[in-house]
Structure 1
Amino acid sequence: MPTTVNPATEAEIAHYETASDADLDAALDRAADAFEAHRRSAFGQRAEAMRRLADLLEDGADALGRLMTTEMGKPLDQAVAEAKKCAWVCRYYAEHAERFLADEVRETEASRSFVAYEPLGPVLAIMPWNFPFWQAFRFAAPTVMAGGVGILKHAEAVLGCGDRMAELFAEAGFAEGVFQHLVIDHDQAADAIADDRIRAVTLTGSETAGRAVGKAAGEALKPSVLELGGSDAFVVLADADLDAAVETGVTARVQNNGQSCIAAKRFILEKPIAEAYTRRFVERMEALTVGDPMCDVDLGPLVNGKAREGIQEQVERAAEAGADILTGGAIPDGTGFYYPPTVLGNVTEGSPAFDEEIFGPVASLVTAEDADDAVRLANATPFGLGGSVWTRDAAKGERLAREIRSGAVFVNEMTKSHPNLPFGGIGVSGYGRELARQGIHAFVNAKTIWVD
């Protein structure tokens, strides 16, 4: 029986019954029936309900934030901001969906030829716990505005968030079956992917989960979007504004308690500033406050004990491989799954701190000989989700950003997701894109229509 646990107190929150196979079958029927009606609704009707949903998210942001913080431990102010960001993406697609999906006339020898964009059908979304609302709304807002419907399989840590999202869609006026949350296990998820009533799949999660879901979707000949994490490079060149690079670098590493796919993880420092940056970065990390996420702190607990043990094991292996633990690096005593802000120096290629994604507040500092070497090191990874380059020369920053193999690179800014920019990775960070025009096109049929 899945059970949610408060990671700050280790107290159980609620128990959930796993859906039966009959429950799953009924949910798939509801989704299929809802799709037939919803896909024929007008964009204006969908947009009106989506704006009501945005209002509900915004007006209830404090309560939704407390729910997120209770279930997965992020600082409350960040959780409230997440709810408001979901409202933003709802309004974005309410405003732009009709234009993004408008027929596109093409010049041919036909009397009339055009491309029509039509929703594929019900989408199964398998989502993680780290951004429990944002990850789901990133797929749900464009899918529903395109005329599709969604079934959410949420992570066991945040089942209360999944239930609340389904309630919000209903409160906004969307019909039954347009958005559902189901508590199902991995075998049932595989059955759903294979079922003809599911027409597409999206997953945010681990590389292992991505391979399994991608394989299942491929065998069923269904499109999928996979976002599988990253080991983002935070490149600091010798001419960078160190004050900004240090302050933003700390935020980029510890946001969401360090549990973010696009968090800065490998800090690649050009040699002339490596020592100064390291000293200042360690000082700022040591000044961070760790504690009850309902209070005014910089970091709360990790999501669970297993996650914390895994991070500790990675840090210990990195030290054995030659990395220096400059601060942190040990599990503290007491209740709650807390882990200190940790900095690893003298990290080199081949170290677990370089080659693996560390999903917690652990920064790996790497020294590069020059800017070209920094790009080489940034690309020396199978991941490719995001990254950033810090330099006072914006033209040079843009040139280097083009050379870094990744789904996104930011110059003089931390990596972030934005409704008007496509989001996704390459390599083992996955494939496909969410958000922007690309996100709403992920699960529609680009149908050619020729009229003579």
Structure 2
Amino acid sequence: MTEPVKSINPANGRTIREFETITDEQLQQKIQQTHEAFVDWKQRSLDERGAIIRKVGELLVERKDRLTRLATEEMGKPIAEAPGEIDLCKGICDYSADNAAEVLADEQRDLPGGRAIVSHQPIGIIFGIQPWNFPFYQVIRYTVANLMAGNTVLLKHAPNVWGCAEALEEIFRDAGLPENAFNVLYIRDEQASQVTEHRLVRGVTFTGSAATGRKIAADAGQHIKKTVLELGSNDAFLVLEDADIDKAVNACVTGRINNNGQTCVAAKRFVVVDAVYDKFRDAYVEKMKQIEFGDPSDENTQLGPLAREDLRDKLHEQVRESVEKGATATIGGEVPDVEGFFYPVTVLENVKPGMPAYDGELFGPVASLIRAKDEADAIRIANDSVYGLGGGVFSEDEDRAVRLARDHFDTGMVSINGYYIAQPNLPFGGVKDSGYGREHGGFGMREFVNSKSLMISQQ
């Protein structure tokens, strides 16, 4: 027998409930059942799949109040923000159902002496290992795309949000998805390799840290399994001399505290050219000072706790080390003496290479301000990172900002004069240590398919 897994409320440190993990034998049975479901599901028409996926979106909205309370309780998401995650999930369901026929359609190609067809066919079970920070969206993102493609899905969710995983499993079932086409695995970390190596599992998708992503990719590579990795980042937002400072400050505050700062595409490093650095810094610090942490179940709370105690402690250690190496904590930087896993908004200045605040990913409400000489220096600093997920540019010359973002920003996504998170119709993913592969915008539906060539002789 193993120890039960506890779901802990990060606002007060109290246990919400306990979950029992399944045995290795039960795990093998789950995989087999998910494959049997695939044999049936892959034969369903796109219209039939789409109708079920649309129903999933409808049920998510119908149960929004319950789901938002669950996310707030399990991982501390401010309850005022939580409905937006559900709305995004609904948008993904609708977009996938509406566009699958076009994305997955057979393609006619030329062939000497005949004709050719390229067909995008499902391959089997896709295993998803997902984090806690967006407990519904992270799952919907890969699950819906793969179900529309005709694959079936296994989920290993972060243990602190297993209640959210359970709620999603119920929604898929109530929407009419065939039994075992989507299965949640209540397993220990060390059991995950059994899933990856299983001959019936055809692909692995992971969202999380770069360190864990390397291990998962290496494990999958041994068994010649394709992976999609969405890993960490330390997104740089550039403020140029012609930026609208008020607009930039508002977007950069939102981009840093959204989801308690626990967002892969959060604005983390703020690279400001010397000409407007002081003006931006003063306005940014003043606005950040107004944000206080509090009870995430209160509609007025803008900043809740970090999801786990170890995550709060790691963030503080990164701040402490950066300060020891010369950074200045203009505001914040101390662990509050309160119940729960709270951390205050923190602004670090004099941030240089070699500090965690410059080189690493600070997953929480900590902003790194970096002074650049000019535009060229700003983009150099932005790209001076092992990561490459997102970023931003603020300039009132839109053409200039677009050129800079398109031609020089070494990331998968760039926001211009605003802060944006995932969009159902646009590709989502990064480069370098932020991973590879794309989700959303139809791209996710083609990540785990067999693009098959049919060559037909007509001579």
Task: Give the TM-score of the pair, scaled to structure 2.
Answer: 0.97
| Code of the aligned partner of 1:356 | G
Residue in structure 2 matched with residue 66 of structure 1 by the alignment: 69
- Separation (CA, whole Å) in 2 of partners of 1:349 and 1:404: 19
Map residues 13-412 of structure 1 onto 2, 5 A cutoff.
13-295=16-298, 296-401=300-405, 402-412=407-417
1:330-382 alpha-carbon deviations (Å, 9 max, x no partner): 01111111100000011122222100100000000000000000000000000
The 3-state SS of whatever aligns with 2:111 is coil
Contact 1:325 1:345 in 2 (8 A): yes
Per-residue deviation, 1:107: 1.4
Contact 2:80 2:301 in 1 (8 A): no
Per-residue deviation, 1:441: 0.5
- Separation (CA, whole Å) in 1 of partners of 2:219 and 2:108: 36
The 3-state SS of whatever aligns with 1:152 is strand
Identity over aligned pairs, percent = 42
Contact 1:386 1:415 in 2 (8 A): no
- Separation (CA, whole Å) in 2 of partners of 1:174 and 1:123: 16
- Separation (CA, whole Å) in 2 of partners of 1:110 and 1:26: 48
Contact 2:96 2:442 in 1 (8 A): no
The 3-state SS of whatever aligns with 1:255 is helix
Counterpart among 430, 434, 439 of residue 425 in structure 1: 430
Contact 1:408 1:415 in 2 (8 A): no
- Separation (CA, whole Å) in 1 of partners of 2:284 and 2:210: 30
Q: Which moved more, 1:104-113 or 1:290-299?
A: 104-113
Residue in structure 2 matched with residue 448 of structure 1 by the alignment: 453
Per-residue deviation, 1:77: 1.8
Contact 1:422 1:436 in 2 (8 A): yes
Contact 1:388 1:415 in 2 (8 A): no
| Code of the aligned partner of 2:120 | Y
CA RMSD of the aligned region, Å?
0.8
- Separation (CA, whole Å) in 2 of partners of 1:52 and 1:399: 41
1:303-355 alpha-carbon deviations (Å, 9 max, x no partner): 11111111111111111111110001101111111100000011122222100
The 3-state SS of whatever aligns with 1:142 is helix
Per-residue deviation, 1:79: 1.2
| Code of the aligned partner of 2:71 | M
Residue in structure 1 matched with residue 421 of structure 2 by the alignment: 416
1:202-248 alpha-carbon deviations (Å, 9 max, x no partner): 00011111011100111110110001110000100010000110001
Segments of 4+ moved more than 3 angstroms: none
1:90-137 alpha-carbon deviations (Å, 9 max, x no partner): 011010111100001011224320100001110000000000000110
- Separation (CA, whole Å) in 2 of partners of 1:171 and 1:45: 15
Contact 1:110 1:450 in 2 (8 A): no
- Separation (CA, whole Å) in 2 of partners of 1:275 and 1:407: 30
- Separation (CA, whole Å) in 2 of partners of 1:13 and 1:58: 24
Q: Which moved more, 1:176-185 or 1:409-418?
A: 409-418
- Separation (CA, whole Å) in 2 of partners of 1:198 and 1:249: 41
- Separation (CA, whole Å) in 1 of partners of 2:447 and 2:136: 20
- Separation (CA, whole Å) in 1 of partners of 2:240 and 2:121: 46
The 3-state SS of whatever aligns with 2:81 is helix
- Separation (CA, whole Å) in 2 of partners of 1:439 and 1:123: 12
- Separation (CA, whole Å) in 2 of partners of 1:283 and 1:223: 47
- Separation (CA, whole Å) in 2 of partners of 1:110 and 1:369: 61
| Code of the aligned partner of 1:301 | P
| Code of the aligned partner of 2:232 | G
Contact 1:407 1:424 in 2 (8 A): yes
Residue in structure 2 matched with residue 435 of structure 1 by the alignment: 440
- Separation (CA, whole Å) in 2 of partners of 1:206 and 1:46: 32
Q: Which moved more, 1:360-369 or 1:415-424?
A: 415-424
Task: Give the TM-score of the pair, scaled to structure 1.
Answer: 0.99
- Separation (CA, whole Å) in 2 of partners of 1:243 and 1:29: 56
The 3-state SS of whatever aligns with 2:363 is coil
The 3-state SS of whatever aligns with 1:77 is coil
- Separation (CA, whole Å) in 1 of partners of 2:173 and 2:115: 40
Contact 2:126 2:154 in 1 (8 A): yes
1:4-63 alpha-carbon deviations (Å, 9 max, x no partner): 000011110111111101110111011100000000001111111111111100111111
Structure 2 spans left out of the alignment, 5+ residues: none
Contact 1:387 1:415 in 2 (8 A): no
